[in-house]
Amino acid sequence: MDAAAFRKLVDRIQVLHAPSHALATFGATRVSYHLVSPVDDMKDRTRLRKGTVLSEKPKILTPEALTERFQGFGRKASEFAQWLSPAYGDLLRALEYNFKNKDLRTRVLAGGPAEVAERIIADLKRREAPDEAVIGCPDAAWGLALMKFTLDHAARSFPVQVRDLERRGLFDPVRKEEDRHRQEIERLFAAARADHSAVELLGRKLREYGFFSEYEDRFLSFF
């Protein structure tokens, strides 16, 4: 898929009804969804996909392997994730989410997508369902639509979660990054003890992270 094709798919995704609740900061959140898509070669028919996205408890870390965060989003999930990752990198540098698409059910209904979506939204309002979403999308890109909706919902929830984490003293990216660097340095010291060829890399990392003066005696002991 090239950039133009991806952009064309994204432009056809519409969140017709968004959930009112933010993702939970210290627990899992479930959002039920209704994906409505036109059925190719079937006039006045709509494919409805229903299920639940489980957003697992976030934790502070660097964003690695975005594609591993999505389970059950269709066979093209890895490809879609690669296209989405640049747009959501800042969000995922601060908080990681693991998203699981569960209980997916699919059926074809009479009526066009707009008509079907209208009926579903009216039912949600009647039931006062705060954790359900209605999304319009191309049939072939349902996984992309669900992934984009999930990440957008995470982005909307982000300011609330930062406040929650700050209140508990858990949101300190600078300190966390320093901790990760120190853990890496300790692993390199262990590697250098086993294999002297790792000493050069250790020295380079100590200077890169600004730790050389602190670890100088330990480092020079290799010589």
- In the chain, where the domains are located: 3-167, 173-220
Task: Look at residue 7 in the predicted model and tell me its pLDDT.
Answer: 86
Task: Look at residue 15 in the predicted model and tell me its pLDDT.
Answer: 92
Task: Look at residue 173 in the predicted model and tell me its pLDDT.
Answer: 55
Task: Look at residue 159 in the predicted model and tell me its pLDDT.
Answer: 60
Q: DSSP readout, the chain?
A: --HHHHHHHHHT-EEEE--SSPPPSSS-EEEEEEEEEEPTT-TTEEEEEEEEEEEPPPB------GGGGEESS-TTHHHHHHHHHHHHHHHHHH-B--EEEEEEEEEEEES-HHHHHHHHHHHHHHHT-TTEEEEE--GGGHHHHHHHHHHHHHHHHHHHHHHHHHHTT---HHHHHHHHHHHHHHHHHHHHHH-GGGHHHHHHHHHHHT-HHHHHHHHHTT-
Task: Look at residue 161 in the predicted model and tell me its pLDDT.
Answer: 55
Q: pLDDT for 63-74, tens place per residue? A: 444 446 788 888
Residues with pLDDT less than 50, the chain:
26, 58, 60-67, 170-171
Task: Look at residue 52 in the predicted model and tell me its pLDDT.
Answer: 93
Task: Look at residue 181 in the predicted model and tell me its pLDDT.
Answer: 85
Task: Look at residue 14 in the predicted model and tell me its pLDDT.
Answer: 93
Q: pLDDT for 91-111, tens place per residue? A: 655 556 678 899 999 999 999
Task: Look at residue 191 in the predicted model and tell me its pLDDT.
Answer: 84
